[in-house]
Amino acid sequence: MSLLSRVLLAAIQDHMTPKVYARAEDLLASHAIQRITQCRQSLEAQVRGGQLYTVKFLLDDTGFPAAVACDCEYSFSGWRKHQGAVAIELPIAASGQ
């Protein structure tokens, strides 16, 4: 894995607890991401969890999520597992893997 990929994944991990990050990896491994569409600096994905959730990102100039939203009921601080799975899947985060 490239240094850039490791730095980006560390930045993604900073937005979640270790438990939520592990669940995000589980979602990714189970192919829970149903669809990702991107239009310029915005990205929307459908992620299958207990039901189908919509995840939305506003990307900064480097392609990293600057603002995130998800329609699941998680109410704690930090990113949700659905958001984390999509962020890990982003091409810039996955480069070099």
Number of domains in the chain: 1
Distance CA 55, CA 38 (A): 12
pLDDT, the chain, mean: 86
- Give the pLDDT band of residue 6 (cuts 50, 70, 90): confident
pTM value > 0.75 = yes
> Is residue 45 a contact partner of residue 55, using CB atoms and an 8 Å limit?
yes
Comparing 80 with 93, the larger pLDDT belongs to 80
Closest CA to 45 of 70, 73, 74: 70
Mean pLDDT of 50-54: 92
Mean pLDDT of 77-86: 90
Residue 96 reports pLDDT greater than 50? no
Comparing 62 with 15, the larger pLDDT belongs to 15
Q: Which domain holds residue 62?
A: 3-94
